[in-house]
């Protein structure tokens, strides 16, 4: 486990927060886009198991996570104050695949993992910038970090279920319209119904479709074998060591609920 201190903690929307943790640059330099960390609030025994979060952004000796309050763990995390110490395990999982002509599709808090990808692509390393970012949420109030995303000068398409910002409807509608014009690979993260629809669209247009999956994570290092993802060919792979990003065509999405 590594140690860090909370450098910034601010609310981005009603229940979405940006948490910055200051730690050693030697640790941060090992992070790659698409990997995740597990955070433990040191003084708490409940929740006992560290919670997983994707790396949202990196700046000098700080890394940032963007999270949404969903349960006991994230509720406890939201109480952290600047200067408090946390323990974390990182980096975990495999990075995103290196793609050439592709688009990003994010639903809700699924936007969290793409910030660091954009940072790395902007620095001209092995990761390439996407051709466009497609970002959907239930309403305008749940769209976060728009100013940060705009800094990368990449076309940003917005959709909200209620029409309060951008296109009224699902972000998957806009993705399909994009693929009608030009076939591009897809890298998607968001709620399961969105990922299933993205997989259908990718299959329809015969493009490579990568999905960032979520499941219960206990150890995070492949020891407990609890975070299984079913495969179409039979058997399982483990999110913590084989993912969290998988080719949609390999996953048995019908058995995941």
Per-chain mean pLDDT for the chain: 92
Give the global pTM: 0.94
pLDDT, tens only, 184-239: 999 999 999 999 999 999 999 999 999 999 876 665 555 666 688 999 999 999 88
Higher per-residue pLDDT: 49 or 95: 95
Please, are residues 156 and 144 in contact by the beta-carbon 8 Å criterion? no
Phi and psi (nearest 5°) for 22? -90, 130
State residue 222's pLDDT score. 58
For the chain, the structural domain boundaries read 2-91, 102-212
Give the CA angle between residues 31, 32, 36 to the nearest 5°: 70
pLDDT above 90: residue 15: yes
In this prediction, residues 55-67 reach a mean pLDDT of: 96
Task: Sort residue 42 into left (φ over 0), alpha (ψ -120 to 50) or beta.
Answer: alpha
In this prediction, residues 91-118 reach a mean pLDDT of: 96
- Label residue 66 by pLDDT band (50, 70, 90): very high
Instruction: For the beta carbon of residue 254, count every other beta carbon within 10 angstroms.
Output: 9
CATH class for domain 102-212? Answer: alpha beta
- Label residue 10 by pLDDT band (50, 70, 90): very high
Distance CA 206, CA 124 (A): 28
- Token readout for 43 is 């003084």
Fold of 2-91: Elongation Factor Tu (Ef-tu); domain 3 (2.40.30)
Indicate if 102-212 has the same CATH topology as 2-91: no
- Label residue 115 by pLDDT band (50, 70, 90): very high
- Label residue 57 by pLDDT band (50, 70, 90): very high
Pairing of strands 167-168, 156-160: parallel
In this prediction, residues 78-86 reach a mean pLDDT of: 94
Place of tokens 């890298």: 187
Q: What secondary structure letter does DSSP report for 97? A: P
């Amino acid at each position: 486990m590594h140690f860090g201190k909370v450098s910034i903690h601010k609310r981005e929307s009603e229940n979405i927060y940006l948490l910055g943790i200051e730690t050693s640059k030697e640790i941060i330099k090992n992070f790659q886009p698409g990997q995740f960390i597990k955070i433990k609030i040191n003084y708490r025994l409940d929740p006992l198991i560290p919670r997983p979060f994707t790396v949202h952004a990196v700046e000098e000796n700080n890394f940032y996570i963007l999270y949404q309050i969903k349960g006991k763990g994230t509720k406890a995390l939201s109480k952290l104050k600047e200067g408090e110490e946390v323990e974390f395990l990182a980096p975990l999982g495999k990075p995103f695949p290196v793609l050439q002509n592709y688009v990003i599709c994010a639903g809700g808090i699924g936007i969290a993992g793409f910030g660091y990808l954009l940072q790395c692509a902007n620095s001209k390393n092995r990761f390439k910038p996407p051709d466009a970012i497609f970002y959907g949420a239930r309403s305008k109030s749940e769209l976060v970090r728009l100013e940060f995303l705009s800094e990368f000068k990449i076309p940003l398409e917005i959709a909200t279920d209620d029409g309060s910002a951008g296109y009224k409807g699902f972000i998957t509608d806009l993705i399909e319209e994009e693929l009608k014009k030009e076939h591009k690979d897809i890298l998607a993260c968001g709620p399961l119904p969105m990922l299933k629809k993205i997989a259908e669209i990718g299959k329809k247009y015969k493009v490579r479709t990568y999905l960032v999956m979520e499941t219960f994570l206990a150890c995070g290092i492949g020891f407990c074998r609890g975070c299984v993802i079913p495969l179409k060919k039979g058997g399982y792979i483990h999110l913590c060591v084989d993912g969290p990003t998988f080719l949609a065509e390999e996953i048995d999405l019908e058995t995941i609920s």
